[in-house]
Amino acid sequence: MRIAGVDEVGRGCWYGPVFAGAVVLDPDSREHLAAAGLTDSKALSAKRRAQLVPLIQQQAQAWALGQASAREIDELGIRTATELAMLRALQRLVGAEPELVLVDGNLPLRLWSGAQRCVVRGDSEHQEIAAASVLAKQARDGLIQRLAHLHPGYGLERHAGYGTALHRAAVLESGPTELHRRSFLRKLLAA
């Protein structure tokens, strides 16, 4: 059975898109990646994640990324936008369409019509989800690092768009950019 793991990153950020990864692995690849130390991306250093990316890409039967923009997040809400990013990643698994999708967390992917199973802490239990998490995290972090040059002064290179004290102070001083999630900043800007 072809199984895809899907996971998102950047859900709680104030800035930029939410990313999702989707990865299909065979049993040998699962073992190889587990032996290489693949686990939940949040438990890995940035350096270790970067080392794992080419290995995941090489070992995967298929992998893909999807994203939903800050504008889509503001218009649709974070849950629907996250599902849209996941759906986009899954739809890019051309030629390796999954028979079962393992979704990290406890909320089903409402936009997916195929078989799926939600797995709480799935990125610690399933190599497919862990691999999707690592690919999405590295891709999103890389994008935010590049965007930090377009929006200097917000500290994006340090916090990747999350709501830190530095980010809060910058938004209050300079206002939000076009890539900020205004729906996430309503209370901050109202104060």
In a domain, 88, yes or no: yes
Contact 18, 65 (CB under 8 A): no
Contact 8, 123 (CB under 8 A): no
Any long-range contacts for 103-106 (C-beta under 8 Å, 24+ apart)? 103/6, 104/5, 104/6, 104/7, 104/8, 104/129, 104/132, 104/133
In a domain, 12, yes or no: yes
pLDDT for 26-55, tens place per residue?
A: 999 999 999 999 998 889 999 999 999 999
pLDDT at position 7: 97
* pLDDT(191) > 80: no
In a domain, 165, yes or no: no
pLDDT at position 1: 92
In a domain, 189, yes or no: no
In a domain, 153, yes or no: no
pLDDT for 56-104, tens place per residue?
A: 999 999 999 999 999 999 999 999 999 999 999 999 998 889 999 999 9
Q: How far apart are the C-alpha atoms of 14 and 64, rounded to whole Å?
A: 24
* pLDDT(190) > 90: no
In a domain, 117, yes or no: yes
Structure tokens at 134: 């690592």
What three-state secondary structure class fits 60? coil
User: In which domain, by residue range, is 20 found?
Assistant: 3-140
Average pLDDT of span 117-121:
96
Total domain count for the chain? 1
Average pLDDT of span 134-156:
97
* pLDDT(155) > 90: yes
For residue 94, the domain's CATH number is: 3.30.420.10
Average pLDDT of span 9-23:
98
